[in-house]
Structure 1
């Protein structure tokens, strides 16, 4: 009897342990349901994205213009925030500006062609002394979480500075120094995929800062060439560093060793961007009509060569949509080129649409992550356009000048 009672007590204790384990274990069915819901949402978003640019027309949503005074107020690119609520840009001789997306555009599937055009006004204007070299958002910015709302900006003769995205207040700085222990401004900057590190391109390498540790504590990758643009690939643990010497250096982000070098541009590389899934790298250069797309699984030659006109030394931006359905680029004729990466012609090359959206050089383009909205910005440095004609007379033909930031609707309309 005693033995039986002991066995019964043991079995009860085992049942209680199993019950406790089941209670503490997460319900796998709930996890599977959440994963399924996320996949379905991603598929729906992907299908919506495929319909962008299908109407072959765009609707203007909002705009701001600056006159080209003696200070030359041209735009220097623009970037949508990761959560899509704001646009970060820089204007020559005006500083760093942040604009909010008009509130009536949230959660819209279509827009009326009779909608009034918003006059955009900056909610943040940070004055800068020198030229703005580069700027970027924190990759996990969420307006509902103030601690994630900040961005970086690099200016001439200044350290890399971090600013609050709500009010533009200065938060901290990341300082790199050269061999003579003199402050060196970052030519380019970007965050790692998880936001824990900051990669900054210098004149002879890359300085790597811990985001949570501002100051002058950093690791250094010596490259002996200027890093004019930089991008980080989270999925392939890789850093891409473009240089004015026409090359792109690929570096392992785990041990900081150079793994490869891409060659294909005729001039200095000025802008780089990875696709969201990390499989493709797009690169552009100054005074070079070729926009190159590289497959990270086979890097011997560019996968595609896209044609756009770039007659300036300025950085001319491009962007790839979140699900890699569209590649968008500006050019110095004010044309926006759009290639459907999953819509190929008989030669297996992405089909192209062109939109004449600006009268001056379109140097900035940025696609919203989930809404069918494109932000474009225009303007470039203007030299004296007085030219001697054949009779020795000075020609003063007016040059087309446009310094603007414009929002466009790129999907269905009513």
Structure 2
């Protein structure tokens, strides 16, 4: 069984401040409600056409281990409906990844060797099952546990699917057939994301120090790599701003990194580094409606391993110091960074709005 992606049990929307609010020191965000799930949350996705002025569009879906996919009301915190997948043992199966398509009419769920598609207007068990391989013992198609999904924002009808079997597939939404398969990944793929024009695809893997940019319209080769420290099996998510010019990501050292992806040059794309957390930065994202707001999150699971083999007193003392140093560095936090300006905004100083998340 694979690792849990997001080891949390509560989804909490926060009230953000407007651009005119003055902030002189970090403050706590106020949560509207908590949507508590019964098990660990694998993934979640906001409704793509959400408008706070239209309560009917304010919703999001969650994928939970051994539970149905839940559609939550983002205004009240109430459960609207569920979409159910039951295996051959009559057990609920939570998808590894869940995503709306661009118009929000369907929900795509990723399982092992299967993509399951639900009609948003028809909750329950009725769904369309799309096998990613024709047969179990075959080299054709895309084999493995589906780990990530993304739809091309240019409405070309394409969506990218990553798997833990070291491959990425490009599918046609009209018939859900595999159009292109990208391979050569050394580890499992944890995130895929199209550029704004749909001509390029950004991918990232586990235990990898780069984010790769692929040309999917012409050569299907890697155009360039963006260096990012990430020697960890935990997911480190990245995001692209609404203009399509900037890529932002966390890294294993607690930094938030900024890259210029608009220029044609394949070198010197790094713009700025910002030390944001005292632990691994698992996520960095840009508010799609208010680009002056940047969110980053940190935290990871901590394990204590007892050495069974005997060692000298000096070695034991050194190991204890290293272990205590790692264990004492606990930073499970969510931070909202406000950056003034829109053009060349990454050169400005930043202020933070911070809230501590529940320690695991």
Aligned mate of 1:405, from 324, 329, 334 = 334
1:31-75 CA-to-partner distances (Å, cap 9, x unmatched) read xxxxxxxxxxxxxxxxxxxxxxxxxxxxxxxxxxxxxxxxxxxx9
> Is 1:324 paired with 2:244?
yes
Q: Larger RCO: Structure 1 or Structure 2 (Cα < 8 Å, ≥ 6 residues apart)? A: 1
Is the 8 Å Cα contact of residues 9 and 38 (structure 2) preserved in structure 1? no
1:307 deviation in Å?
A: 1.3
Q: Which residue of the partner structure matches residue 153 of structure 1?
A: 62
Instruction: Report 1:358-369 matches (<5 A).
Output: 358-369=277-288
Instruction: Report 1:37-52 matches (<5 A).
Output: none
Is the 8 Å Cα contact of residues 262 and 299 (structure 1) preserved in structure 2? no
Equivalent-residue separation in structure 2 for 1:339 and 1:163 (angstroms): 34
Instruction: Report 1:135-284 matches (<5 A).
Output: 135-223=44-132, 224-234=143-153, 235-284=155-204
2:243 aligns to what SS in structure 1? Answer: coil
1:274 deviation in Å?
A: 2.1
Q: Which residue of the partner structure matches residue 392 of structure 1?
A: 316
1:124 aligns to what SS in structure 2? Answer: coil
1:144 deviation in Å?
A: 0.4
Gaps of 5+ in 2: 133-142, 342-347, 350-360
Aligned mate of 1:378, from 289, 295, 298 = 298
TM-score normalised to the size of structure 2? 0.82
Q: Which residue of the partner structure matches residue 42 of structure 2?
A: 133
1:73-111 CA-to-partner distances (Å, cap 9, x unmatched) read xx97xxxxxxxxxxxxx6x45422211212x32xx5xx8
Q: Which residue of the partner structure matches residue 117 of structure 1?
A: 26
> Is 1:338 paired with 2:266?
no
Equivalent-residue separation in structure 2 for 1:262 and 1:299 (angstroms): 11
User: Which is helix-richer, 1 or 2?
Assistant: 1
Equivalent-residue separation in structure 2 for 1:94 and 1:199 (angstroms): 22
Is the 8 Å Cα contact of residues 232 and 238 (structure 1) preserved in structure 2? yes
Aligned mate of 2:13, from 94, 98, 122 = 98
1:100-157 CA-to-partner distances (Å, cap 9, x unmatched) read 212x32xx5xx86x63432113222122232111000000000100110000010110
Equivalent-residue separation in structure 2 for 1:94 and 1:181 (angstroms): 24
Q: Which residue of the partner structure matches residue 57 of structure 1?
A: none
1:179 deviation in Å?
A: 4.5
2:56 aligns to what SS in structure 1? Answer: helix
